[in-house]
A and B are shown apart, each in its own frame.
Chain A
Amino acid sequence: DAGITQSPRHKVTETGTPVTLRCHQTENHRYMYWYRQDPGHGLRLIHYSYGVKDTDKGEVSDGYSVSRSKTEDFLLTLESATSSQTSVYFCAIRDGSYEQYFGPGTRLTVT
């Protein structure tokens, strides 16, 4: 299995609070991604990174920000969580090939 961990694995938070999810890789891969997965939708890209301090938006980036200060860590922040951000969040990594490998996911509930 790819060396990807996510933390926390589960979180319940209240509307309006900031939340940061962490993705950590031990593979030294350049590319990292944040997705959300909701019933009735495929995995949707939130943000991705193509190197330290290099990030770009995906299709559902509103309400989310990211940071990547080290190769191994990619952080996803919900500045002010809303109920619509209740979801399962997956981090993924990619090396020089074209395949992405996913972390175990974070289940976030915003009440």
Chain B
Amino acid sequence: RKEVEQDPGPFNVPEGATVAFNCTYSNSASQSFFWYRQDCRKEPKLLMSVYSSGNEDGRFTAQLNRASQYISLLIRDSKLSDSATYLCVAAPVMRNEKLTFGTGTRLTIIP
């Protein structure tokens, strides 16, 4: 079992819709979590950090459920520019030397 698991998708969603995807992690010692977005043939870019129960930034909301060991990312009013691969990342005990990356969820927003 992978330490961080994501549904690879692809998720094809009409513009303006709300989309949510989950990420599960197996290491209960994980303390901090991140969502990165990665465009095709580009580097990952930090989207959100999650240190407590959740975080919200504009149209994006991340929620952490420690009991069930999953993190979700919700995108409201999706835009064409949201098309990307979203990477879920877990880090144990606030030490970033051992980040564990999921393989990513591919999202395509359809006009």
Which A residues have a C-beta under 8 Å from some C-beta of B? 31, 33, 40-45, 48, 50, 56, 90, 94, 98-105
Main secondary structure on chain A at its contact with chain B?
strand
| Cα–Cα distance between A43 and B32 once the two chains are bound (Å) | 17
Query: How many residues from B make CB contacts under 8 Å with A?
Result: 23
Evaluate whether A90 and B44 lie within 8 angstroms (CB atoms) in the complex, with A40-B103, A42-B101, A99-B49 already known. yes
Partner of A56, one of B43, B46, B97, B99: B97
- Closest approach, in angstroms, between the C-beta of B99 and any C-beta of chain A? 7
Evaluate whether A101 and B46 lie within 8 angstroms (CB atoms) in the complex, with A42-B4, A42-B87 already known. yes
Least CB separation from A91: chain B residue: B43
Given contact pairs A31-B97, A42-B2, A99-B46, enumerate 8 new A-B contacts (beta carbons under 8 Å): A42-B87, A42-B101, A42-B103, A43-B44, A56-B97, A98-B94, A99-B34, A100-B46
B68 beta carbon closer than 8 Å to chain A: no
Least CB separation from B8: chain A residue: A40
B1 beta carbon closer than 8 Å to chain A: no
Evaluate whether A43 and B43 lie within 8 angstroms (CB atoms) in the complex, with A98-B32, A99-B34 already known. no
